[in-house]
Chains A and B, each alone.
Chain A
Amino acid sequence: MRSIISLLLLLVVAWGIALSLDEIPFGTSKTKVGNYYIEKGREETGASNIVTSVVVNYRGFDTLGEVTVLFVAAIGLSAVLATRRKKEKREIEPASLVLYTGCRFLFPLILLFGAYIFIHGHLTPGGGFQGGAIVASAFVLVYLGCRGRRVSETGSKTVESLGGLVFIVVGLVGLAVGGHYFLSNYLPKGELNTLFSAGVIPIIYIAIGFKVGSELAGVIDHLVEESE
């Protein structure tokens, strides 16, 4: 009965959406601001990846909000789960030699790949959030492969706080020195398509990468701890 009602409701919603989608043609240019970013983005920010220049430079303040949402969610998760922290340490069956060695071999390589992704955020597809997610996936590998090892909680909290602090301080310095808005690009832009270009964007993305990586690793740590 309930599924029939739900289906009817969804059909009504789908009908309305189909009518409104008729007004949005597929594959045409729709916004002026996007064209502006594509035409002027390279000169104004020095980043060859326009998405990065939008995320970190033009809409850097929104990104600060996004980082805050992630932070609040991580805090909320640890607050929800922390109340029933089991004190006794259960014996964990150690992983086999092959698994353990493979995990120890792959862990630094995955970290290196994540660092590559967030350092080259202004040149190639990727950036702080993606690189941070890859770094966190290295910690998932540790939890699945080399069981018994875990992330130090104070270490991850410290890295996370430092990442957030670097973001805010660099942004506020931009507000004071460079221009009239948060995160204005006050460092020299450098030559296009080189690693040391685009002013503050790589610094911000490295900070975001560390922050997101340690935050997600902390989230994984809490969830794994709860499941044991």
Chain B
Amino acid sequence: MDISNAVHFLQDYIYYIGAFGLIFIGLFIMLVKRNLIKVIIGLSILETGVNLFLISVGYISKGTAPIFSKSLVKTQRMVDPVPQALVLTAIVIGVAVLALALSLAIRLYHHYGVLDLRQIKEQKW
């Protein structure tokens, strides 16, 4: 593959690569790290990657945001509104999950005195 091919490949797939880069970074953190707060941070990064992926699936080349302001010509291309609405939902639910996970981490810390998953009893991984 020569340079221009590689550039075109990157132009076509850079959003997918970035989104899945974030997803894999998040998964790796969740699998490897033992500190509970870091696991929650990994979860948050993973969720950001999933949101970015959904948005980039809905993108249409040279499209604009699906909002009809007054100056906009009717025939202009617009990106798909459905993934954007879904991601709006996913972000809010992500905030809720993050808050709940942090509160559980606080309770665990009060109970065991550590955040290290190895030292918490009845916790294998």
Listed in ascending order, the chain A residues whose CB lies under 8 Å from chain B are: 2-3, 6-7, 9-10, 13-14, 17, 21, 24-31, 33-34, 37-38, 41-42, 48-51, 54-55, 59, 62-63, 66, 69-70, 72-74, 76-77, 80-81, 84, 123-125, 127, 129, 133, 192-193, 212, 216, 219, 222-223, 226
Contacts and interface: CB of A to CB of B under 8 A. Distances in A.
Closest 10 CB pairs of A and B: A73-B96, A27-B61, A34-B80, A50-B66, A6-B31, A54-B85, A48-B68, A50-B81, A77-B103, A80-B103
Contacts of B102: 223
Given A29-B60, A34-B82, A10 B24 contact: yes
B67 A50 contact: yes
A40 B69 CA distance: 16
Interface residues of B, number: 44
A34 B57 CA distance: 12
Interface of B: 12-13, 15-16, 20, 24, 27-28, 31-32, 56-61, 65-70, 78, 80-82, 84-85, 88-89, 91-93, 95-97, 99-100, 102-104, 106-107, 110
Contact of A55 (B12, B68, B85): B85
Contacts of B81: 34, 37-38, 41, 50-51, 54
B13 A26 contact: yes
Contacts of A54: 81-82, 84-85
A31 B60 contact: no
B89 A62 contact: yes
Contact of A124 (B56, B58, B67): B67
A127 B89 CA distance: 12
Contacts of B103: 76-77, 80-81, 222-223, 226
